[in-house]
Structure 1
């Protein structure tokens, strides 16, 4: 076996082993890290298959409508395991297999049979991020969008139309891949073509959804977010968590949104302010990207830090702080390592640290966090501060992105 093939075999082996380890951890760790899969994904998709309510079509839903497709596909992969493990156990295995298959396809786009040194480094980062983030990296719908974003981001160089279509489909599963589409347009990667392709794919999806009867529920994934309270893991909830630790605030469970939220004077006002703040931050970052592109920064240099800044901005200004949001950070860092490895080092370290801290928060000390235990609140505080640091670093990288001639990768 040649040296190249040996490296490739080791890399692929590590990637698959990481999925096996993380999938197993979901079964043995506290706080049911795979709970959403069997408590909400399986019932939602079972209802649709059984002629009941179809989320996003017959009733409003917290996710874009295409998120239901992988939930349905998991049933197909679950069939061989149901007889042994039952409906829930079989569906969990089916879901883990589906995520692994999607990741394998994204990984193949990244490294294929070996890839360049930069691509191998990016691949090892992906392996590390999976292991450090733990079971939340695969047992959430967000996991389906990561390989879509990786493949789409990489294909922007040579297959821009396919890339944008893929990223737009990803955005109709979970919104965040749309940030890479916007970053590509702002960075000057055939901006008009990018926006036209994204709009065309969106029109096709909307047309299909309307034909299925989505009607008034078409944008339910947006309208349902406006009434949410401040989730305990959100960056903006950090001061209120410290108040809760000293008995001056309360942590309540919302059965409608299925999350734990802050109940305290001023929390609702902060929650209401976050959505317009998010819009302002995203608009400001896009304007910054357009200005830097106008100064002659090559799109390959500008796209990764701008995409990372946009995604970090979505997380930092979000009233929800779900642990799976950290998976969003994996794709832009992979793109950064591939397109501009030297300048990606700090972001790589920061994201790996964020994955590790998030794993500690959920599931390891989540029960203590719900009791506003001081140590758990401290760990989450450090994680949230690091998210702000990552955002600042990405913005700084956009500002300092050099005007230079690039070699092909």
Structure 2
């Protein structure tokens, strides 16, 4: 039986063809959903966002290079990544507004969409500050972890305060088989945790060319699909927003696939996680997000496990401890196990697709 590392290492790695195949697959799912619902709810925003973000990225990447916004690569990472130093970053500035604007135009009268757009853009701004400080300091750290979490928490609390005032969130979590988890007032601290956890999980996943962008497009598509399959008419407003966000990352993937000509940076990854969290909380889709976003969850847990085990087994004399992975986050573990960067990315895309299907089967 093949180990996960050997299985990933056996995958194809033609990034251009696979990125195109991924885009066609997600477009096909959107079209199929629209045919089932007899209304074009997902396909137009997905296509529009993909085309606009691709065009804007094509225009903007040379500008980012001219501004010398080159990524600083951390020395502790895989040595093969040192060649990526100088690749333009902050690409999220080019595509996140595209997804947000097109997504908000899906249903202009729906008061939830401006709120989701606001938390997404606020998280993009926090990421931009983090990226900018990293670039100006010529180091792979921008804001301090505590400072970044504080800014994220402030924006999340503002969103949750609006949701409480407008009564947009209930106290129950829908689970499969008709089960309901009643949380009451505990939904609010859980909501804050979801924002912080999801934004930082997508941030940790953004470590290989096309990894976060591809997985993000898949998960947003899955969230949109499950929202349209729920009930009689579904939730076309939030589903359309998800489709637009999926489209913007598909367009970006044309330039972010291996070898990446631009990185999204914290500017993009923090916004991606915040948008997912906001949609999930407003649509009672925390369970689908947990399942479909399993890759993001695994990446986050891999870092937590690595740090915890190292500290728990640390020898005071040598300062060394045990490690459960070759390197965290999880994608680096497979890289150092012999799989190429492209094979790891394709493997994680495939896993995300499987988890989306599982999430659709286990609809609450």
* TM > 0.5 fold call: no
Q: Between Structure 1 and Structure 2, which shows a larger proportion of helix residues?
A: 1
Higher relative contact order (CA closer than 8 Å, sequence separation 6+): 2
